[in-house]
Structure 1
């Protein structure tokens, strides 16, 4: 059977969930979001089946009923849905009109994606971490068809890094199972498929917020990051976390603007998907959105909706980890916290001496001090910087300082927030241009 049928089936599942909760989107958005939601739901179900066996059917039915009931409840209690869902009016009323500029942007994006596709199709798994911590687990699931509970203890949950969540190993194993054999292109191609879906969603969101030019700039800034190009075919988990984190923030912003509770629940689900890919989001990014929800809503209901979106899908995984003694981190709790003031002197080198992020940080830092009354970046900008601050705190206040000192993982950690920062940077730039049209040198501001 072709894995493409699996992709279509998972996309259809996610699309059905969107219809179930009454979230209306354009066909391209529905397909892109349907794939991301459907693939996560399928890997959740595979974990339940591997853990509980036949009881997982009852759990899946219970979850389905809850999603249906919750969707109906949110659908009936979102008074602004009909007015807002069909609105494409951007916050920024202008648009940089240049067909040549737009064509150049899309050509550059296409080059990046074609390069990544070539690497996926013709290169094997290249990196030790991707082979040892991601593909080895996926290959075990593919070969054995189980989560390893009945095998030797060393192979439980696929062996290495068993405290890591299972979304990517299970998804890679499933696609290869459908293909009938292990194929590196399908194992490596998951990130590329996720990213293309992400690009489509970002473009539509930013088109509403900033117009076509702002959307194209946001997509280009995200897709052109050199480290993104590497990770599109690397087989690691950080780019998947970046995709789900950015979407969680974007749907949170959609809730803030439209007061659409379904978007808030979906924001929580995207955060759960990020945490189902790696452990980092629970400790680093969830607190940022949690505090933002409290600050913005100042009410219990939005916080409850967001929390349910996060913790309900993850609850079986949490119960499993509590029962087996697995934690978020293999290090003992009393060894995690360490203050390293010297880290603050090392951060500039990681930002500006490494070419993996291109001009991103050079462009972002000056805009911190540029005041604007624009609406597009009102919450995206502080949320992006809040997530970045949490990443830096890990290296300044924990034992992970050693990975900053040897530059081993810090760039991968920064990659998790880089797409969100690129989107926020584009929104910020369009807000600045919207308030200062005289700054525009390469197009007209069309009112």
Structure 2
């Protein structure tokens, strides 16, 4: 408890960030629908967020190295708050897409800075508990942000102003903190050859799950509105999908620790295809049934990412978890950009349920490749596996989140991973 109390302000700042992100993420597609945006434009909103988010993961460590953690956090949080308000000034799809990318960039940067402080405060004995508390707070804050939309109409100015206020409030914990700034941020690096040698199925599966999850997260609200659900029902639907995904991770993780994780992924993909096909065909016939089906679908698709990371960890060399999982995060991010573009085009020319045709195609591709790989490589025994660790959806995971993961050993964090050059790293290791 003493460890949690010492980081309470940082956890509060993180909760405010994710609360604003959850509200803004669901607000924009609903407000865009009310303003008459096309499905293609709404899909580009999702792709814009993913592009900005990944750009932030790659470039914010350089900014922080130049001006420091507190200044960077203040600038990014302020820019995010301003960007939310700019949506009110000019309601036009292209302008909103650019603003969405800026918000994704700011959100990634602010999340990484908070996580770097949390990582600095954790020790080998408290890392797992702090990581678990942080993950739970993110889940609850995202859900609360989405549920705020049950209180009114998304077409007015109220929720935009509220989102801006919450982003601004997230400045306070870090601005008033007396703690020293932590080490430079972790930089994600992509080494396709190394990732492929480590686990081909992890590379293919994480991209396909990125396509699926990115599609559902960006366009799930659009699907709900197109089939006749009202705003409170959509907020409940998307929140239940997220909560179910967090709950289902536990039994899925326990199962994957005992069985071949590839077999678990095959089963999850088959279930996701079943639920998705049902939503594609019968969605909208009954609001309650649709919400329950989406909750089941979310429980499956949001539990896939940690299984993939665990499988890659099983085959990683000692000390390689950070770079392997960081590379997978970048591939996942690429999938989250591709999925909304494909699904929004299909939804424009066909029908709303085409969203789940895209997710089904992604899950089918993953399932077939996993079955093929099971014939090429023998499964590990339970004793040879690393521990499964529940994690947040890849869409709110950063390289700094990966460095907080209890599977990341402190000695894995080289100066290069921390954004330091060789001279800086040498200075840090010289005795005083």
Output the TM-score relative to the length of structure 2. Answer: 0.29
Question: What TM-score do you get using the length of structure 1 for normalisation?
Answer: 0.28
Tell which has more relative contact order, 1 or 2 (C-alpha 8 A, sep 6+).
2
